[in-house]
Amino acid sequence: MSRLGNLGHRLHRGEVSYDFVGKRKLWYGVSIVITLVAIIGLAVNGLNKGIEFSGGAVFTTPKTSVSTGDAQTKTQNVISGHHDVIAQKLGTGGLRIQVSGIDGTTADKVKQDLAKELNVDPNAISPQVVGPSWGQEISQKAELGLVIFMVLVVLYLAVAFEWRMAISALVALVHDLTITIGVYAIVGFEVTPGTVIGLLTILGYSLYDTVVVFDGLKESTKGITSQTRFTYSELANRSLNQTLVRSINTTVVALLPVAALLFVGGGLLGAGMLNDIALALFVGLAAGAYSSIFIATPLVASLKERTPEMRALAKRVKAKRAAAEAKGESEEPQDAVPADVDDEPVEAAATATVGGQRRQPTARSRGRGRPSGKRR
146 lies in the same domain as 166? yes
27 lies in the same domain as 61? no
Q: Domain of 71: which CATH number? A: 3.30.70
Averaged pLDDT of the chain: 77
Mean pLDDT for the stretch of residues 194-222: 82
Say if residue 224's pLDDT is above 60. yes
Task: Look at residue 367 and tell me if it is in a domain.
Answer: no
State pLDDT tens for residues 8-60.
Answer: 566 556 566 788 888 899 999 999 999 999 999 999 988 887 777 777 888 88
Give the count of domains, the chain. Answer: 2
Backbone angles phi, psi at 205, to 5 degrees: -65, -45
Radius of gyration in angstroms for the set of CA atoms belonging to the chain, rounded to a whole number = 30
68 lies in the same domain as 111? yes
Mean pLDDT for the stretch of residues 282-291: 87
Task: Look at residue 356 and tell me if it is in a domain.
Answer: no
194 lies in the same domain as 258? yes
Domain ranges, residue 181 = 3-49+134-309
Task: Look at residue 174 and tell me if it is in a domain.
Answer: yes
State pLDDT tens for residues 49-97.
Answer: 777 777 788 888 888 888 888 888 888 877 776 777 878 777 677 888 8
Task: Look at residue 344 and tell me if it is in a domain.
Answer: no
79 lies in the same domain as 152? no
Last residue within a domain, chosen from 309, 339, 356: 309
β-strand partners of 98: 58, 86
Q: Domain of 268: which CATH number? A: 1.20.1640.10
79 lies in the same domain as 224? no
3-class DSSP state of 57: strand
Cβ neighbours of residue 33 closer than 8 Å, sequence gap 6 or more: none
Task: Look at residue 363 and tell me if it is in a domain.
Answer: no
Q: How many residues does the chain have?
A: 376
d(CA 16, CA 185) in angstroms, rounded, equals 40
CA distances from 80 to 76, 77, 110 (A): 8, 8, 10
Task: Look at residue 298 and tell me if it is in a domain.
Answer: yes
Task: Look at residue 274 and tell me if it is in a domain.
Answer: yes
118 lies in the same domain as 223? no
Last residue within a domain, chosen from 268, 292, 309: 309
d(CA 168, CA 303) in angstroms, rounded, equals 9
Task: Look at residue 355 and tell me if it is in a domain.
Answer: no
CA distances from 64 to 111, 121, 162, 234 (A): 15, 11, 59, 63
Range 16-20, long-range pairs (CB < 8 A, 24+ positions): 16/337, 17/237, 17/238, 17/241, 17/335, 17/336, 17/337, 18/241, 18/244, 19/237, 19/335, 20/237, 20/240, 20/241, 20/293, 20/294, 20/297, 20/298
Last residue within a domain, chosen from 130, 152, 183: 130
In 22-100, which ranges are E strands?
A: 48-49, 56-60, 85-89, 95-100
d(CA 81, CA 52) in angstroms, rounded, equals 21
292 lies in the same domain as 186? yes
